[in-house]
Amino acid sequence: MSKPSFLAQAVLEPMLNTARKNLERDGYLVPVLFVQASIAGLQIGSLMLPQTPEQKRRYLAGLGSAFRQRDQMIRSAAMLSESWFVNAQETPGTMTIPPSKHPDRQEAISLIGRDANKTRITHVIKPITRDAQNRPLCGDPVIAFYNEPAQTTGKFNSLLDYLFLANKGVK
């Protein structure tokens, strides 16, 4: 029997469930990066994401460069974090305002993943609500696709794109 793809639901959903439990227990979620590298295999690490989008892009590009400096090619990666989302079906005009600034934004656990060629992607968004004591509770996913061909899910850009720049020799 062959091993499932790193981007498959069977591989990533247990990680997503652990994140949900951690969020509900601790009240916050530490961002985590999962990297499937050419030689070292699966590596998992927490992220110290900076505040601004530009700083985040540089941070991920730097991590990718660190893999390249160790002669590691990143085959696939996934990032799990808290994020904001706006339900485009319920809120018209969502593409003109970043989710973090949108008045109808919602908290969510976000899992994004892709392979090095950007031909396979994973994208899961699980909304977070708050109970009367302001404790986070996770709902069912509003988006959940795992290891799908990129052309069937639509194109989207993510911070992970910057992680892969070093694979192409870009520093």
Between 18-27, 56-65, 100-109, 136-145, the lowest mean confidence (pLDDT) is in 100-109
Q: Is residue 4 part of a domain?
A: no
Distance CA 107, CA 112 (A): 15
* pLDDT confidence of residue 156: 64
* pLDDT confidence of residue 171: 46
* pLDDT confidence of residue 2: 57
**C-alpha dist (Å) from residue 44 to 12, 41, 97:** 12, 10, 32
Q: Is residue 75 part of a domain?
A: yes
Q: Is residue 21 part of a domain?
A: yes
Structural domain containing residue 42: 9-168
Q: Is residue 71 part of a domain?
A: yes
Between 57-66, 139-148, 151-160, the lowest mean confidence (pLDDT) is in 151-160
Q: Is residue 34 part of a domain?
A: yes
**C-alpha dist (Å) from residue 82 to 21, 27, 166:** 13, 11, 26
pLDDT for 95 beyond 80 = no
Mean pLDDT of 59-83: 93
How many structural domains does the chain have? 1
Between 19-28, 61-70, 92-101, 142-151, the lowest mean confidence (pLDDT) is in 92-101
Distance CA 148, CA 159 (A): 18
Q: Is residue 92 part of a domain?
A: yes
Q: Is residue 50 part of a domain?
A: yes
Q: Is residue 2 part of a domain?
A: no
Distance CA 66, CA 71 (A): 9
* pLDDT confidence of residue 169: 67
